[in-house]
Amino acid sequence: MAKERGRDYAAAVDAYVDAGDIFTEIGRNELDPATQRTLKKKAFSLLQRAEALADWLDSHAAPSISEATNVAAMASAEAETEVQATEKHIEDMKQELKQLKYTSQIMKADDASDLGEATKASVLPEESALDSMKRAVVNEIHGLLKLPEISTFRQFEPLGSSADKEQYAQDLKAQVDHLHKELQFEKASHLLATAMRKHKYSKLASDVVEQQRLQAEVAQLRQELQVHQATLEVTRHSIVQITQEKLRVEAASAQQVQSLQSELQSLAKDTTSSRSSSRVDRTKESRMQWFQGPRGLGKKDDDSEDRSRRQSEPSVGSPRHQLSDTEGDSSSIWL
């Protein structure tokens, strides 16, 4: 902070960064989480102060030599871009001019019935086998990169001083003007020749073109009709299948419903008959057993088992057999 007050901003930024690093290192060595958070906040505030001071210093610094160099480089790049655009424009105009001249030659040869001279290739300087191989490799690379192919190599001529660059730019502009005038003249000549040729063959050409157009439309309509018929047939077949499947499912569902209804009716009859028979056959003893519950029934069964176990069948000549049932039970020696 003292260095910042003394307007030594670069040293103040370095001091803030060093202090933030020191607080960070101390916080990493601490074991208490609260102390770690405190030191972390302090280090973060110091680093934020250093970043803000560095941004302010960069924004208020005077433009350096690198900025001037960048401005000059940008101007040079713009000039180079303009030169390249001009060269491309010249190449396009030359190509268009060549096409117009070639088309005019074909039209003249067609009128003179001498297509051999018109389609003869223009005389180009022969290239060596090495140049042909180089051009094939370049065209292959252009094909992979989806770039247009080249027919000839352009000789690169490096520019020296700025005066040469300016002279070259002026020459390019003059060439552009000359090619533009020549291109306009060739376009006018081509339009005139095209109009004359069209006037000469207008009747035949119009009839042929109209017939071809009508034939193409008829073929297209027939194809569309076939497609629609096929689609209609497929749709009809699918509708029939869906209807049959729906009827089959409905019939199966009706059969299942009828079977379920018959089963329910039989179950209802069985339940009614069983309930009526159980009500008729129920006796007083069964009602008493039902009211006694499971515990009373268990106790009664135990008593009957003990009584049957204690009693035995007496012999015919025994006194017990001669006694009556009531008397025997009351004066039995087995009790």
Pick out the chain residues at pLDDT < 70. 61-71, 107-127, 155-165, 201, 203-206, 273-335
Tokens of 58: 């960069």
Residue 326, CA distances (Å) to 171, 308, 332 in order: 155, 16, 10
Per the CB < 8 A criterion, the answer to whether 271 and 263 are in contact is: no
Q: What is the pTM of this model?
A: 0.26
Nearest to 97 by CA among 174, 105, 120: 105
Predicted pLDDT at 123: 46
Q: Per-residue pLDDT tens for 141-165?
A: 888 887 788 888 776 555 555 556 6
State the number of CA atoms in the 13 A half-sphere of 290 facing the CB.
6
The owner of tokens 């009828």 is 258
Dist CA 26 CA 39 (whole Å)? 7
Distance of CA 124 to the CA centre of its chain: 52
* Cβ neighbourhood burial of 288 (10 Å; 0-12, 13-18, 19+): exposed
Q: Give the separation between CA 90 and CA 100, rounded to whole angstroms.
A: 15
The total of other beta-carbon atoms located within 10 Å of residue 118's CB is 16
Q: What is the predicted pLDDT for the residue at 90?
A: 79
Helices (H), the chain: 2-5, 9-29, 33-60, 65-112, 115-118, 129-144, 162-281, 284-310, 319-322, 325-330
Q: Supply the pLDDT for residue 200.
A: 72
Max CA distance (Å), the chain: 164
Sign of the Cα torsion 253, 259, 261, 264 reads: negative
- Identify which of 71, 20, 68 has the alpha carbon closest to the alpha carbon of residue 44: 20
**Can you give the pLDDT at residue 283?**
56
Backbone φ and ψ of 266, nearest 5°: -65, -40
- The pair of structure tokens assigned to 277 is 């028979």
